[in-house]
Structures are given as C-alpha cells and as structure tokens.
Amino acid sequence: MSNEKKLEELALNLFKIDAVKFGDFMTKSGIKTPVYFDLRVIVSYPDIMELISVLLYDFFIKDKKCEQLCGVPYTALPIATLLSVKAKTSMLMRRKEAKSYGTKKVIEGHYKQGDSCLIIEDVVTSGSSVLETVNDLRKEGLKAEEAIVILDREQGGKQNLATNNVQMQSLFTMTELINILVKNKKISEQIGKDVINYLSNVQAPKSAPELERVLLPYEKRAKLATNAVAKQLFDIMAIKKTNLCLSVDLTSSTKILDLLEKVGEHVCLVKTHIDIIEDYTSEFILQLKQLAQRLNFLILEDRKYADIGNTVLLQYSKGLYKVEQWADSVTCHSLPGEGILKALNSSTNVISRGVFLLAEMSSEGNLITPDYTEATVKMAAKYPELITGFVCQKKDTFKDPGLIQLTPGVQLESSKDELGQVYNTPEKVILENGADVIVVGRGIVAAKNPESQAIIYKDTLWRCYMKRVSGKME
C-alpha cells in the first residue's frame, strides 16, 4: 500500500475511534471550535499505534541522523517508544515536574552534551507544549531543533516553533485531514466548510503569534522562555504581581541600599549604572545581592556594551566591577556586530546570564533606524539561550513571547526632560506599545516619598498589564 493510502487509512481510523470529533467544543484557551482531537485514545488500538509509527518512521525518521528521540508528555510518549525501537535510536523522557527527591532530574535517560534530539508530539496548536520540552532539553545542553507531529492544527504552532529555531513537520495538517474525511463521506461538505472557515478565522492576523505575545500572561510566557533569566523574571512578575523595574540612578551606595530596603518588595527588577557610584566597594555588591535574594528581584546592569567582542568580554568579567559575577542580565548594543554576543556567551564564570539587546531608544533624535532594529532582532534569534529580551519602545519590534520587552522613558504624565529623554505614560507603553517590564528612574528616585511613589507606579503598571491580558482594552 502506498504511503498516501496509509495516511488516508490513518485519518479514517482516527475518525472511527473518536479521536477526531465534530460539534461545538471549547479549547483550553476558551475559544469555541467545531472540531476536537483527542489522540489519547490511540493507546487502546495497537494497529493504529503501529500505523502511526510506520508513517512517522517512513516519512521523517528513516533518513534522519539524530542521537535521541523525545516524546512530549504524555500522549506522544508511547509513540516515541515505538519509534525508538523501530529506529534503534536512544530515547529520553521529560518529566513534567522535576522530582522533589533524589536526582531532581527533568530529563531521564543517558545522553551527551550536544546530542541532537528529535521531538515527537501528537497534535500542535500554538506549539507551546513542544517548546516546553525543547526548553528543558536545551537547558541540558541537548540540540532540539526538529519536531515531528501527527497533526498540525494550523493555528500558528509551526511559525511559533520556527521563531524558536524548531522546524516542525506533520503527517497531516487539519485541512488535509478534513479533506480526506469529506472525500470519504465521513463528514458532510458543510461540516468540512465550517471547519475550514473556523480555521481561516483563527489564522487571521489578530491571532497570529505577534499579537499573542502581548496577550499572553507572564506565567505562560515563562514556559516559552529559552533564556533562564527571562524565565525567572516572568516567574517573579507573576508571583509578586509587579512589572516595575526601578532604575536606581543614584551616586551613593548607601542611598541605593536604603532605597531598595524600602521599595525592593514592589519591583521585579533593579537596574543599575554601576559606574556612576562614587563610593563603590565589593561590600556594596554583597549587600545588593542579599537584598535581591531576600526581596526577590533580579539585577540588570545597564552597561550598554558597544565595543568589539574581546573588549566587551574584558569589561564584563574584569576591572573594578566584575559585572559577570553579580548581574543577572546586562544591556548591550548590537552596533558592533555579533562578536559582542559571542563574547558575552563565552564567559564561563556565570551560572545563568542574560542580555537585553538595545533595539530602540527612548531619547529624542536617536540614530537607530527601522533597519537597524530589524537586524538587531535577527541577530538575537541566533542566541536563544543568551537573550533575555529587547530594550525597545514598540509592540511590533519582536514577536517571540518567550522574550521580554523592557521599556524605559516612563512617567505618570507624558513629558520630556531638558536632555532629550522622552516620557510616555504607563497606559501608552503597556496597552499600545507592548511593554512587559517598565523602567522608572527619576519618577521614583527623585520623588519626595519614593516608597509611596513606587507603590503608585507598581499598582498603575500592573493594572494596565491586567487590562491587556484580560483583553479588556478599549
């Protein structure tokens, strides 16, 4: 039997065992859908399991070189097992939760750093479940750049995965499956049309991944982050209910520590300019780190590196400040080219690190052009494990929901300072311009009562974020 015939047979079998259902259903994200897939039932049908594994093997695995296979838990686990035996390729298992005892491993099985791992999944909608597995594998130093799936619901998953450097192939798209069922008179032409109509609605630009970034809550985005610092920052924001980054632009270390003692509980991130501190000592860093740990915030050194890779590596790791030893993330210009990212990536003394690339600036008359911004975003895509996000001003600057938009130039009223800084309001930067983490400096630091001002900023910024993700934007 030809592979085409086998695919048709599989589609008809999936319909027969109720793995594909038609009617009025609600998806996990609360959207109505006329078609529902539940491939969990296939484990009760060994013939169908075998047919699936034969097709996946013939189409995608036979001629592929990979060291490991890994199924996305849970439905794809038995399929991955069958494929592993058929292809005589080692398999890994990803735990959904790390064990709280013993090895605390998330990935079970034997592997080497750099092993390439092919991901196997049953159905892909947004691609987020595949990405969770990809992220855990990448954290272990495995290469996860390809995924094979039974069914692509054609709802942005393939594009979302490609953005995260994962190429996805499927046995069927939803349209192909529907066409087989209509052709074989399993469903009426009208039902087929309804499904295709539904698909074209959910595929319309408004649900494309670029808009999803700003609509997804931080806790969901944490799962899509490929940089460990971005993941931590999303988690902190969700737990502390604050997206406020305080820019502690003060020149006295005592004043900085006093201020953070009061406002640290209200912020997710503290941004420093370490070279403006007049009484810097390494004791200051110790105390800053203790505060960060006790009050649960991360530290961003806004160094804006902009030199050749070798110099940046020295600036990051040596000298008076030894930034790599204490900053969770640093800011960096893309102007000198990729060498700067290679340098920051190559530093070996850090447990986790992140970089915010400057894609746009808040200051009037800055020389950044749209082409420069686009090239910056492209450059970042090559370093998914290093990049925490972008310092930028616009919602459409990047799409990846696993990255963070850090936006400075924010005060409660729009205004300008006398040296070209432009301030927008919280409503504008969050609801219109897509900011995720909002940088406030003098709006708090120069206030009469910084503590009460920080609470006002925190509450206002969080209200805007909640409005954005609940979709109640006017």
Ligand X SMILES: O=c1ccn([C@@H]2O[C@H](COP(=O)(O)O)[C@@H](O)[C@H]2O)c(=O)[nH]1
Question: Which is closer to ligand X, CB of 10 or CB of 270?
Answer: 270
Question: Which is closer to ligand X, CB of 415 or CB of 470?
Answer: 415
Question: Which is closer to ligand X, CB of 249 or CB of 385?
Answer: 249
Q: d(Cα 241, Cα 393) in Å, to the nearest integer?
A: 22
Q: d(Cα 303, Cα 274) in Å, to the nearest integer?
A: 8
Listed residue (231, 211, 274) closest to 388, CA to CA:
231
Q: Which of 421, 427, 428, 451 binds ligand X (CB under 6 A)?
A: 421
Q: Could you give the 3-state DSSP secondary structure of residue 239?
A: helix
Listed residue (171, 169, 129) closest to 14, CA to CA:
171
Taking the complex as a whole, the smallest distance from the CB of residue 407 to ligand X amounts, in Å, to: 8
Among residues 307, 342, 459, 467, the one annotated as catalytic is 307
Question: Which is closer to ligand X, CB of 409 or CB of 434?
Answer: 409
Taking the complex as a whole, the smallest distance from the CB of residue 107 to ligand X amounts, in Å, to: 38
Question: Which is closer to ligand X, CB of 161 or CB of 435?
Answer: 435
Taking the complex as a whole, the smallest distance from the CB of residue 46 to ligand X amounts, in Å, to: 60
Taking the complex as a whole, the smallest distance from the CB of residue 424 to ligand X amounts, in Å, to: 11
What residues form DSSP beta bridges with 123? Answer: 151
Q: d(Cα 19, Cα 36) in Å, to the nearest integer?
A: 8
Among residues 302, 328, 400, 436, the one annotated as catalytic is 302
Question: Which is closer to ligand X, CB of 163 or CB of 393?
Answer: 393
Q: Could you give the 3-state DSSP secondary structure of residue 324?
A: helix
Residue 271 marked ligand-binding: yes
Q: Which among 193-201, 215-223, 260-268, 360-368 is the span making contact with ligand X, rule CB under 6 A? A: 360-368
Query: Is 307 in the active site?
Result: yes
Q: What is the size of the binding site for ligand X (CB under 6 A)?
A: 16
Q: At what angle do helices 3-16 and 174-183 cross, to 10 degrees?
A: 80
Beta strands in 153-207 (DSSP E): 167-173
- Determine the residue type at 156: G
Query: Is 235 in the active site?
Result: no
Residue 441 marked ligand-binding: yes
362 binds ligand X (CB under 6 A): yes
DSSP 16-71: HTTSEEEEEEE-TTS-EEEEEE-GGGGGG-HHHHHHHHHHHIIIIITT---SEEEE
DSSP 367-428: ---HHHHHHHHHHHHT-TTTEEEEE-S-GGG---TTSEEEE--B-SS-EE-TTSBEEB-HHI
Among residues 223, 304, 399, 428, the one annotated as catalytic is 304
Residue 235 marked ligand-binding: no
Residue 442 marked ligand-binding: yes
Taking the complex as a whole, the smallest distance from the CB of residue 331 to ligand X amounts, in Å, to: 7
Q: d(Cα 126, Cα 178) in Å, to the nearest integer?
A: 19
Binding string to ligand X for residues 424 to 443, with x set by CB under 6 A, is what?
---------------xxxxx
Question: Which is closer to ligand X, CB of 212 or CB of 360?
Answer: 360
Residue 27 corresponds to which tokens in the numbers above? 């998806």
- Report yes or no: 292 and 257 within 8 Å, Cβ to Cβ: no
Q: Which of 157, 409, 426, 434 binds ligand X (CB under 6 A)?
A: 409
Listed residue (242, 218, 253) closest to 296, CA to CA:
242
Q: Using CB under 6 A, which residues numbered 293 to 352 contact ligand X?
A: 302
Q: At what angle do helices 450-469 and 253-263 cross, to 10 degrees?
A: 50
Binding string to ligand X for residues 248 to 287, with x set by CB under 6 A, is what?
-x-----------------------x--------------
Q: Using CB under 6 A, which residues numbered 16 to 75 contact ligand X?
A: none
Supply the residues annotated as catalytic.
302, 304, 307
Residues annotated in a binding site: 249, 271, 362, 421, 441-442
Return residues touching ligand X (CB under 6 A). 247, 249, 273, 302, 361-363, 391, 408-409, 421, 439-443
Residues annotated in a binding site for substrate: 249, 271, 362, 421, 441-442
